[in-house]
A and B are shown apart, each in its own frame.
Chain A
Amino acid sequence: MLKGTNNTFVNHILPWLVPAIFIGIWQVLGQVGFISQNFLPTPLSVVEGAIRLGESGELFDYIFVSTGRALLGFLIGGIIGFVFGLINGTFFIFEKLFDTSIQMIRTIPHLALIPLVIIWYGIGEEAKIFLVALGVAFPIYLNTFHGIKNVDKGLLEMGKVYRLKPFQLFTNIMLPGALPSILVGVRYALGIMWMSLIVAETIGSDSGIGYMATSAREFVQMDIVILSIVLYALLGKLSDFLATLLERRWLQWHPNFFKNKKQSKQKLKGEHRSVGSRN
């Protein structure tokens, strides 16, 4: 009953059914006047607002600026979390030195630093990138650290008997062994990334999607306020989708992602076995 299927309808259409019905009902309720346009504009007027902003080019500037901030913050925070996770997971002495401090800082909600960050950086770029990086670093750190720690000891011993050099041990055993856990951290961090950015942009900014929402609020442009919320949802979904693509590519060996491997191997060999035949 809970098994996977190759049915296109179930795989690709069914997940979108609930959002589609939701939007449909929303449109109807708005159009008949059950929901006031001043309270909540209809989906169509949100789309019109998007087209209006899109024609002037503002919309794409804002999306571009926000995405840039998100990615830069993610890159900085991700690298810091990854490197610390790696060295603390690998070397006991570094774990002793750093882990307690990192765990202490981790318990502070990073958005609580906003007043401090505004005093430091005003509403400049640094403030937003700092908050995103800070929020992203911890989930990546934790998952990298635990991934490395939980690498199969038997495989490491095997590597020792086969006299793999430290670098080979790292690239052939430790990193791939930790990768599933690291990718869980990445997906989680992507959520934190957008959340941190939304808050930072809403509180103080002169560009980006958050700025678009706050300035629309001042002019009571309800459609644009809704549009910015929808944009965040779409960007969040898009980044999660990209992360699952990475998982499928890098974890092909994992039984969870097998279907993919069989397809690619078949293409490689030029065989024409049907994909479903072995499922």
Chain B
Amino acid sequence: MSNAKSPLQRLNETQSAYLLLLPFLLTYGLFLIYPFFRGVWISLHDWNLLQVAFNPDAKQFVGLDNYVRVMWGRNIEWSPWARPVLQVLGLLGVVASVALNRTRRLTSLTSVALGLAGAALFLISGVHAGEEGRWFDRRFWPTVGNTVLFVGLTVPGVTISALLIAAALNRETRAMSLLRTLFFLSQVLSVTVVTLIWQIMFSPRQGLIANITELAGGSPINWLTDERFAMAAIVIATIWWSLGIAMILFLAGLQDISKDLFEAGALDNCTGVRAFWHITLPNLKRTITLVIILQIILHFQVFGQSHLMTQGGPNDETQVLVRYIYQTAFRDSELGRASAMAVFLFVIMGAFSVVQFLVGREEND
């Protein structure tokens, strides 16, 4: 280090700190904070992508109109039994949260979350268009429903299989680490490679699955264009793709469980499946909660699988929220409405991020 002091070296602590923070704060402000508020601002305008591109004044302030046009309709009513299955499920969630909290099977935070989710399901699914009424945007809520269904199928699928595999692989031997590598490998592939592989896997004419069904004497299923199977197909591809990260998080959680517990359990003849049920699961509760929240946040933003494998079809069965936002903005040029949906997405993701933060902090205590 030279003796002659350059201006950089004469800076005091505060000046140094701001100088070091500057590059990040500049990009952060310009490419995240500002766009976020600009997005909210766009959502308050009737904003056509093409018209505004030619003439910046072609936008018009419309207040909350876009939100109404996306999420509301004429003669919208609420009744307790509009969608019995979903609403009963919601009520069951509320009951379960109270019961499990009483018996201390769940932490208070988790049960509050479960209770709120149940109540929300009960209330939201009771909303429907009344007589002579209709939604202004017929596709929005079904799209949200598809996204929730996708999350509801993928997250348990990934969580349960990753948990079982992680519990079985929790040994520091060479064979086990090789197996871990095999399970994790698909995680590093890009979404377009994953969709490429599974599109052809599912193809009724050329696909591996069709080839196997034909060998077994069955007739191949048209997975991606059949309304009954399209959602299942993108869920299967997604589970295959994203199992690795959940497995790794579970393995990290398993490392923290003291070996003494298992040894003590073995003395009481508690091994194998029983050890998994009575020792592993209770001690892994927080990790499981975190992995579930993480997966919900991740998979709620699903786009590529739906966009590339099924193009949202057949008959909008696999249309998901981010794809609808993308289409509304860049095919229909309706930036205002698309931005309103993006704000909706942000609110939901933000709520889950807050829960994630709280659960994560609880874990550190």
Binding partners A and B: no
